Amino acid sequence: MERQPDEKLNQQEFLFFSYGRELKKPLHLLELLKRTTIHGESNSALIIGPRGSGKTMLLNHVLKELMEVKQVRENLLQVHLNGLLQTNDKIALKEITRQLQMENVVGDKVFGSFAENLAFLLEALKKGDRDSSCPVLFILDEFDLFVHHKNQTLLYNLFDISQSAQTPVTVIGITCRQDILELLEKRVKSRFSHRQIYLMNPFDFKQYLRIFKEQLYLPAEFVYKPFVQKWNKNVQSLSEDRTVQDVLQNHFHCSKDLRSLHMLLMLALSSITVSHPFMTGSDLLEASKLCRMDSKANIVHGLSVLEICLIIAMKHLNDVYEGEPFNFQMVYNEFQKFIQRKAHSMYNFEKPVVMKAFEHLLQLELIKPIEGLPVRAQREYLLMKLLLDNNQIMDALQP
């Protein structure tokens, strides 16, 4: 089954998914992978959509259907890479070698460079032909992070193989970046098939509310029948409560990602006890506050008294010097003034102890050194910048 030379250019498929509805059958992607696994064609495609829109679910759905074909199940080799884990081409190459179980082929070979290792792997892939080689499916999750690898070498070579008539290879990228094609180098883009599958979250707030109820409802086959009726009745009344609707609406406008809804419900459900068997609107309100709470303000809540005093001293220096950087010695002097003026009852810590607290704030990334400064400078005089604004500090200091 030969395809026309220009068939693969400028093809886009827009797929829309709705939670709780029957999945629209992704025939285009299924057919694409079948052509690789059964007919030995090589290809490439990108699945693009916001987080939580079902990109991975779509691919898993297609692969599950594909694996029902005996010929595919026995021959298809899969390589799963993730841009968050394989942070450079060298690590990615090692992972490809491991997943293709080619360590025994590499054996005692010593590669002088990444280029030699890559050349060996490519040669192994290119030695085959369409009829006798096992098809290889490369799935690149967080595809946009691979774009930032040096010279995009890995992407260039994978797309280059996918254009050859040797080992059948298909590269599927998964990303949430809509502008991903603009990030590809010209030589990489020219080897990409330009097949793009777009996914969206099309549901409105009314459907979002229905999803909220579906997630909380207990099934009819639940062991304790009387409780099922009471619980489901409570969920229904919750969905009609104005306070709950306001909380859900705020959450909906922040993110349509259903994983964030699951997090909200999980936090609310964790307050359920024997003495408090049903969820209330106040439980959801508290859970919503926890979801939206500033992570840095949370860190400040867990600091020691000395560390909080240093944060206040830094804030004062920022106010006085209008955001200019400071060093440890300046903070220490400000801390000493604070002790003398307002905190006579507070224990006056030794300077090395204060330095230790200052370094802990650096480790927590609440302060950071100014870039471009000499590393050999004495640590007391390294210029720093506070990474908290006044609102975060004041919120954290509230009882």
Instruction: Estimate the share of the chain in helix, then strand, then coil, as percent rounded to the nearest 5.
Output: 50, 10, 35
Asked if residue 112 has pLDDT above 60, the reply is no
Tell me how far apart the alpha carbons of residues 334 and 327 are, in angstroms, rounded to a whole number: 11
Mean pLDDT of 44-60: 88
Asked if residue 23 has pLDDT above 60, the reply is no
Identify whether the C-beta of residue 35 lies closer than 8 Å to the C-beta of residue 27: no
- What residues does 326 pair with on adjacent strands? 384
Whole-prediction pTM value?
0.64
Mean pLDDT of 127-156: 83
Read off the pLDDT of residues 71-93 as tens digits, 9 standing for 90 and up.
888 888 899 999 999 998 888 88
Tell me the C-alpha to C-alpha distance, in Å, between residue 316 and each of 62, 350, 365.
Answer: 58, 21, 19
Domains delineated in the chain: 12-200 (3.40.50.300), 205-292 (no CATH), 297-397 (1.10.10.10)
The pLDDT value given to residue 126: 60
Tell me how far apart the alpha carbons of residues 48 and 303 are, in angstroms, rounded to a whole number: 41
Mean pLDDT of 231-252: 91
Tell me how far apart the alpha carbons of residues 313 and 164 are, in angstroms, rounded to a whole number: 64
The pLDDT value given to residue 13: 39
Read off the pLDDT of residues 179-200 as tens digits, 9 standing for 90 and up.
899 999 999 999 898 889 888 7
Q: Per residue in 128-139, is it b (16+ CB within 10 Å) or e — as a string?
A: beeeebebbbbb
Mean pLDDT, all residues of the chain: 81
State both tokens at 199: 């996914």
The pLDDT value given to residue 24: 45
Question: What is the chain's Cα-based Rg?
Answer: 28
